[in-house]
Structure 1
Amino acid sequence: MDLETLLHRDIPLTRELGLTVQSWAAGRLALGLPLAPNVNHKHTLFGGSLYCGAVLAGWGWLHLALLEAGEHGGHIVIQDGHIQYPLPVRGDALAICEAPAPALWQRFLTTWRRHGRARIELATYLVEAGQSEPAVRFTGQYVLHR
């Protein structure tokens, strides 16, 4: 099952947000978050929707990276998150999560395989379509458990 179908089935809010999987390549996940279903009274993307997009980019990255590593069990949960909103988002956005340092990823996998539980910190960011400067920066602590 592809990630977008999984998210829409298991986290119904993602359908309402209009969330789409834009790309998964070279350890980088990009999710689309359209303005229209997430607009606020200032005609910008609602902060809560931006937060959801940021959390889901990390969750989705971890899900896909685990599959690529041959890991098909476990439950991913967000344990802690910190967000900054330096710029308003006036149009559609991309929520992006890139691979952490290889040593950090390997330590996570080793811990998971030994103990059946592991945590990893992932950084995500959101950019307005057509822009390069992050409008949102997020750091989340994700836990994988049996």
Structure 2
Amino acid sequence: MNAIEKPDAALAALARHFAGMPPVAAMQPQVLDWHDGVLRLRAPLAANVNDKHCAFGGSLSSLMTIAAWGLVSMELEAAGLHADVFVADSRVRYLKPVFEDIVVETTFDDAVEHAALVGTLRRQGRAGIRLQAKTLLADGGVAATYTGRYVAIGKA
């Protein structure tokens, strides 16, 4: 049974993976949901607070980075592919401070690239993909934006 058929199992596996990386585990991320090419994470402000009592910018950047990584990884696993996924480059823009729990949402940047991801990895053994993420505020605003390019290298 693949991850599409068992999304709760896939989300739990991603949460376990995050818990196994000490810097990530320290941020206490929670995997909220994954559907239709969108992955959402939450992390408590208390574990990510800075000296101004708002979310640490490094936590925002890190959560958006791991959310995008998680989305690529889950999509590939759902297709029955095992790959190492690496962030190749990224850009973050900080727009507003976050004085609440951090909520991050990530999506694929380009539908054509997303549609080709699995096939490219199967044919070439590696594939690149662009993603975007944002840190959402409870009032509907956006606190930070992220764009990143990831590379997946198939495992034998």
Aligned positions, number: 143
Residue aligning to 2:63: 53
TM-score, normalised to structure 2's length?
A: 0.86
Supply the RMSD in Å over aligned alpha carbons.
1.4
Residue aligning to 1:19: 29
Q: Cα deviations across residues 21-46 of structure 1 (Å, max 9, x unaligned)? A: 01112221110121101100111100
Give the Å deviation of 1:134. Answer: 1.2
- Tell me, yes or no, if structure 1 residue 138 matches structure 2 residue 149: no
TM-score, normalised to structure 1's length?
A: 0.91
Gaps of 5+ in 1: none
- After TM superposition, the structure 1 = structure 2 runs for residues 119-130 of structure 1, keeping only pairs within 5 Å, are 119-128=128-137, 130=138
Gaps of 5+ in 2: 1-11
Question: In percent, how many aligned pairs have the same letter?
Answer: 31
For residues 124 and 37 of structure 2, what CA distance do their matches in structure 1 show? 25
For residues 86 and 55 of structure 1, what CA distance do their matches in structure 2 show? 17
**1:110 pairs with 108, 112, 119, which one?**
119
SS state at 1:56 partner: helix
Give the Å deviation of 1:100. Answer: 4.2
SS state at 1:132 partner: coil
- Tell me, yes or no, if structure 1 residue 8 matches structure 2 residue 16: no
